Structure 1
Amino acid sequence: MRWLVMIIITSVGCPFTQAQSFNTQELISIMASDHAGHAQEEVAKIPVSGSSEPFLFDTLLPAAIAYQQKHPSRILQIHILRLQANAASNYRNFDPVRRIQPASIICLEEAVRLCYEEKNDVLLAEVFFDLAELYNLYGRFEEYMIMLSRAFDISSRLEAGTFPLSLRYNKYGGMCKAAYYLHSYAEAIQYGRLALASKPSSGDTENDIGEIYLLDLIGASHKKLNQPDSSISCYEQLLAKLPPFTNRRDFHVLWTAIANGNIGENKVYKGDYAAAQPMLDQWLQSALEFRDDFNASLARNALAALDFHTKRFDAALESWKQNFRWAVNVRNNEYAFNAAKGMAEIYRLKKIPDSAYHYLEQAALFNDSLQSFISQSGLQSVKANVKLDELQYSLEKSTLLLREEKQQKLQILVTVALLAIIGLLLYNRKRLQMRSKLQQTRERQLAAERETNEARNQVDEFIQRLKEKNDLIESLKLNLTAAESLKERQDIYDHLSSYTLMTDTEWIIFKDRFTRVHPSFFSNIATRFSKITPSEERMVTLIFLGLNKLQISNALGISPDSVTRSRHRLRQKLGLAKDDSLEEIILSC
């Protein structure tokens, strides 16, 4: 909770000395003002305590919301969003098991957007500091470091001294700790050095103690990177920074042992075993005395390494066993891996393969978990960067759109008449084009209708002529009785029977005109009748036109019996029953 209390109270430059003495309305007025220099008040003028929180969230926040409704102010709205973001995931709603509530992120992202619109980089940096500390509160160190980096990037654009050294000192120190936790030891060294360079020269005891913690993190990071000389140098600086023995005895004794112990561990890496032994013994003894399990584990690990190098395998095995039990209990994959790996190597040297294999498997499991954590941390970092870049892009795009919108409004006032004229001309042109297209479409439709009607008339005329020719033939057949001899009558009859009213040429012309009237007829009959022949196609067409058997036989120049056989074959192809009508099937095509 301390982070937002400190930022909100100090960022508005509150002159009060006690949380209980806050003047709500005066504080709201300061929050609503566009005061660019308020961040210099980051060094708290108010002792931050639990009594500050109820005032901020139970008194100040509701009052600020009520004031905002009557006197809208974007600056005040930004502070309200910061308070609401913290209230959603902190204060009474803090739960380390749950994730950060979406409402907190939404509020702070909206605050970022408003800062962009106000072009207020001071408040923008503070909102990113808020985001960072919210992630830190829930142990999301990847996002914590990224948000702090963005806040420092923004602050670098501001005048020197906008943010006090104490803020930089604390934030860089937090980044050093987070980087060490994420196994990014080079980054931990980098941020630790930046923090030390930002340390205020006020002689504040808390800052001096913070410097000791930083030197420990930097020294441990050098040790992890196998840089013993640099690590020893850091711990020697730490010893020089320790407060006098008389002022803080316990602190002095423990940290003297820690610093000397780490120097001793580095000496083990350098092969100076004799000098390392007493330092490591003292480290373990002091850690046990002050019930510091973590440092006791570190000391045992260093002693185990020393015993291993000096071939005191039983002592090394015992130390690593104790460390393994402790690491498994506290779920520390790194130290469990180191202990299991050491024990596996000792059992291998002792020629106890079952135990060596068992601890080698354990080491592999814990190493997999450790690498998975490191990979997941990297993935979280990438995701956070992508999300931040998306937010940055969205904000920049929104800002650009707002700027363009203002320019467009000015241009619209000048060009609205011209645009209206151009629009009217375009409309008229479009209307004329549409009218022309409509006229062309109507003409094509009329032409198509005329062509269809003409083709229909030609088909009707063709059928009529066909029927007339057929009637003529029938009348001639009836007049055969007037012939002078039987042979003469038979010759006339045979000649008429072989006469074809519809020639191939006539069929081609007829089929073309017929298709214009009935476009899908021939494709339909080809589908309905399997492997229909050209003569059957003519037969089906004449049946469709309503000609009877005698008319069809005369038109095609075949006998009525041939027509009957052709109809029978068509019925077979369709699989028709005796009562089914061939004409109805053909008319449906």
Structure 2
Amino acid sequence: MYLIYMFSDLTGGLIKRRRIQFSWFIFFLFGAFFPVVVGAQEKLGLDVEKWAIELSKKKLNEVNSLGSLIEQLIESDSIRAIQFLDSLERSPKGKGYFFRTFFCMVKAEVIYAKFAGLDKFKDRKAPSLIPIKEQLMHLYADALDAAYQTENENLIAWVNFYSARRVLQFGEVAWAVMYSKNGVDLFEKTNYALEPPVYTELAELLYQVREYDESIIYAKKGIEAWKSLNYEQEYSDPYKIKIRAFSTIGSSFFRKNRYDSAINYLREALQLAVDNSDSVLEAKVLGEIGKVIYAQANYDSAYTLFKSDYRFSLYDSGFNKAANASQWMAKSNLARGNKIAALAEAKEALQLLRLWPNDQYLRDTYYTLNEIYRSLEMYDSAFFYNDLYIALNDSLEKEIATSSLEISKARLLGEESRYRIEKINKEKQKELWIRNGLLAAIVTFSIIVFLIINRGRLKNKMALEKAESEKLLMEQEIQSAEEQIIDFTSHIIEKTNLIERLEEQLNGTIQWSEQQELIAELSKYTILTEDDWFKFKTLFDKIYPAFFQKLKTNVADITVAEQRMAALTRLELSSKQMAAMLGISVDSVHKTRQRLRQRLQLGSDMSLGEYIANI
């Protein structure tokens, strides 16, 4: 349950009016932004001129709140509502940045309720919903720009706060994160007491976009908020929100590989579930603890915890959660050597995900099946699930990378807008000071102008330097997000290895001698760094002792690249395999082989492979 306030006096603060129940992730009625007071004796009706005057004021009284206008427009037919909004926007009596802020937020809510609500579009990715979303995003941007012009931090915070909830319903997670964070930070700046779930849900959003450090900060604020005010009585099950906060912190520490901290916070969540006899939440937290224990290679204990999570998730009809738990059970059994049981549990996860799809859980299940089939030496099935994993993982990772880019972009645009508006307002203040100085006296005016100009230049210089510094930081964040995309290509080498091994199996060329096993192990390597070359060379020497010494005896000035090509030629690898291992093109492989022939002074009638084989 969240506190919803009416703007009674935007210059003096916010007055608590009433509490209503809502969630960030379900339909939110924006009319609560300025709720209508129960028992109001009068309304303005839909009088354009009166509303133009009313919305231009910094103060809204109890009767003429924005909630009243929104309610009336939603109850009216669509044509009349749009005509009213068009007339209101054109009215000469609608003046100032307060009017622009209020008008944009009212129009956005009416358009959403009339044309884009969940009752109109259950599929939030419908093509016909896109132009409506873009119009609303533009209205929220205009409202925020106008709010910045007012320099009223409470108003700016509310516009950010409620814009976040609406854009989140369109799947714009990056913008929702930025709007929410800006709103919460501004409320804290004005010492406005936020309720615990506000912090908790912001922390969950930050975790979703992998901002783990900030997720931990806001989740901890949510926990502390329960202690500062008497919120316990306002919620029917406050312990559930506390469990979410502790679990978010624990999961964030787990993602940061800080396992001790993760366990400590997850135990706090577990204790709350036990104290409140909530078996379902208890099992879910045990599942999160199981992931940490699994990462510490304690597979037996982890399996037991995953199994508990699986059973209670099924009991609670959370088929997607049960699927994830079953997939983790399969990973644990595979680590324990129970390959057949692991296969059955992974297939069970696939069946459950057909009942309740979840792309992240499906991706993890594909990967687990790939690992199981590889351990069973069923390379055709391993190749199949590896292909499915790569395709889905690339899609999900691109979404995360895109979200990171969008967050950086949103942050950069927000900072640029704020600095631009601050600069404009400072210039206005400067003009006012100059005018007042002229009225006083020429001498006083000269002194004041001198001080203002110097002060203004210093402030502008500092503001510009700060803006440039933060802009550089944003660009670095964007570059970091782009570098994440490069990691997608790392799966190509694994895919090539699977293909080669499958071809060998089908052609019946695999021999199971110790030497062939070492050669097969060598073919897994990628020689991209000096460390890779050292490991490869060590293993190669076990198969062909003194090979490199003989090679250097024949050609004293042979290069490292030529030594690598000679070794791969001795292994009788194809040009395609060599290219994959060295991270170069097939054409580059051919060129290096030709240089090696020249170095060895081989004639056209002598095969490079035969020569190398005799060393």
Structure 2-normalised TM-score? 0.54
> For residue 378 of structure 2, what is the amino acid of its counterpart?
I
Cα deviation for residue 227 of structure 1 reads 3.5
> For residue 281 of structure 1, what is the amino acid of its counterpart?
K
Task: Assess, with a 3 A threshold, how the Cα gap between structure 1 residues 409 and 57 changes in structure 2: closer, same or farther.
Answer: farther
1:129 is the counterpart of 2:152: no
Task: Assess, with a 3 A threshold, how the Cα gap between structure 1 residues 314 and 16 changes in structure 2: closer, same or farther.
Answer: closer
Partner of 2:109: 86
CA contact (8 A) 1:177 1:188 kept: yes
Partner of 2:475: none
CA distance in 1, matches of 2:345, 2:166: 39
Structure with the larger helix share: 1
Equivalent residue in structure 1 for 2:405, among 379, 382, 386: 379
CA distance in 2, matches of 1:236, 1:52: 49
Partner of 1:396: 422
Cα deviation for residue 231 of structure 1 reads 2.7
Equivalent residue in structure 2 for 1:205, among 222, 235, 239: 235
> For residue 240 of structure 2, what is the amino acid of its counterpart?
I
CA distance in 1, matches of 2:174, 2:42: 37
Partner of 1:21: 39
Task: Assess, with a 3 A threshold, how the Cα gap between structure 1 residues 332 and 6 changes in structure 2: closer, same or farther.
Answer: same
CA distance in 2, matches of 1:370, 1:385: 22
State the SS of the aligned residue for 2:15: coil
CA distance in 2, matches of 1:122, 1:339: 46
1:175 is the counterpart of 2:202: yes
CA contact (8 A) 1:81 1:108 kept: yes
> For residue 224 of structure 1, what is the amino acid of its counterpart?
R
CA contact (8 A) 1:16 1:22 kept: no
Deviations 1:455-481 (A, max 9, x none): xxxxxxxxxxxxxxxxxxxxxxxxxxx
State the SS of the aligned residue for 1:323: helix
Aligned counterparts, 1:227-306, within 5 A: 227-242=258-273, 252-306=278-332
Q: Which runs of 5+ in 2 are unaligned?
A: 20-35, 46-50, 443-615
CA distance in 2, matches of 1:32, 1:130: 20
Partner of 2:183: 151
Equivalent residue in structure 2 for 1:185, among 212, 215, 222: 212
Deviations 1:176-200 (A, max 9, x none): 1212222333433232223222334
CA distance in 2, matches of 1:386, 1:242: 41
State the SS of the aligned residue for 1:13: strand
Partner of 2:193: 164
Cα deviation for residue 24 of structure 1 reads 5.2
CA distance in 2, matches of 1:319, 1:24: 65
CA distance in 1, matches of 2:100, 2:413: 24
CA contact (8 A) 2:274 2:282 kept: no
Deviations 1:398-442 (A, max 9, x none): 323433554566689999xxxxxxxxxxxxxxxxxxxxxxxxxxx
Partner of 1:214: 245
Task: Assess, with a 3 A threshold, how the Cα gap between structure 1 residues 136 and 90 changes in structure 2: closer, same or farther.
Answer: farther
Partner of 1:578: none
> For residue 15 of structure 2, what is the amino acid of its counterpart?
G
Task: Assess, with a 3 A threshold, how the Cα gap between structure 1 residues 86 and 326 changes in structure 2: closer, same or farther.
Answer: same
> For residue 127 of structure 1, what is the amino acid of its counterpart?
V
CA contact (8 A) 2:5 2:16 kept: no
Task: Assess, with a 3 A threshold, how the Cα gap between structure 1 residues 302 and 227 changes in structure 2: closer, same or farther.
Answer: farther
Partner of 2:26: none
1:364 is the counterpart of 2:390: yes
Partner of 2:222: 195
1:112 is the counterpart of 2:144: yes
CA contact (8 A) 1:180 1:221 kept: yes
Task: Assess, with a 3 A threshold, how the Cα gap between structure 1 residues 22 and 397 changes in structure 2: closer, same or farther.
Answer: same
Cα deviation for residue 255 of structure 1 reads 0.8
Task: Assess, with a 3 A threshold, how the Cα gap between structure 1 residues 412 and 155 changes in structure 2: closer, same or farther.
Answer: same
Task: Assess, with a 3 A threshold, how the Cα gap between structure 1 residues 386 and 263 changes in structure 2: closer, same or farther.
Answer: closer
CA distance in 1, matches of 2:167, 2:316: 32
Task: Assess, with a 3 A threshold, how the Cα gap between structure 1 residues 22 and 108 changes in structure 2: closer, same or farther.
Answer: farther
CA contact (8 A) 1:317 1:346 kept: yes
CA distance in 1, matches of 2:15, 2:274: 33
Task: Assess, with a 3 A threshold, how the Cα gap between structure 1 residues 31 and 358 changes in structure 2: closer, same or farther.
Answer: same
Question: How many pairs does the alignment contain?
Answer: 393
Task: Assess, with a 3 A threshold, how the Cα gap between structure 1 residues 325 and 225 changes in structure 2: closer, same or farther.
Answer: farther
Deviations 1:23-60 (A, max 9, x none): 55599999877569x9xx9xxxxxx9xx9973585489
CA distance in 2, matches of 1:271, 1:15: 54
Deviations 1:211-267 (A, max 9, x none): 22222222333333444333332232113323865xxx7xx1211221223323433
CA contact (8 A) 1:87 1:93 kept: no
CA contact (8 A) 1:261 1:283 kept: yes
Task: Assess, with a 3 A threshold, how the Cα gap between structure 1 residues 366 and 115 changes in structure 2: closer, same or farther.
Answer: closer
Cα deviation for residue 296 of structure 1 reads 0.2
Deviations 1:139-189 (A, max 9, x none): 21211121233334434543x3xx1231xx333222212122223334332
Cα deviation for residue 319 of structure 1 reads 1.6
Deviations 1:335-382 (A, max 9, x none): 233222222222222222211222222222222122211211112112
Larger Rg: 1
> For residue 165 of structure 2, what is the amino acid of its counterpart?
E
Task: Assess, with a 3 A threshold, how the Cα gap between structure 1 residues 266 and 107 changes in structure 2: closer, same or farther.
Answer: closer
CA contact (8 A) 1:301 1:320 kept: yes
Partner of 1:445: none
CA contact (8 A) 1:82 1:130 kept: no
CA distance in 2, matches of 1:16, 1:403: 38
Task: Assess, with a 3 A threshold, how the Cα gap between structure 1 residues 53 and 292 changes in structure 2: closer, same or farther.
Answer: farther
Cα deviation for residue 330 of structure 1 reads 5.9
CA distance in 2, matches of 1:217, 1:198: 16
Q: What percentage of residue pairs aligned between the two structures are identical?
A: 18
> For residue 160 of structure 2, what is the amino acid of its counterpart?
F
Cα deviation for residue 307 of structure 1 reads 0.6
CA contact (8 A) 1:142 1:380 kept: yes
CA contact (8 A) 1:301 1:319 kept: yes
Structure 1-normalised TM-score? 0.56
Partner of 1:541: none
Cα deviation for residue 391 of structure 1 reads 2.0
Partner of 1:484: none
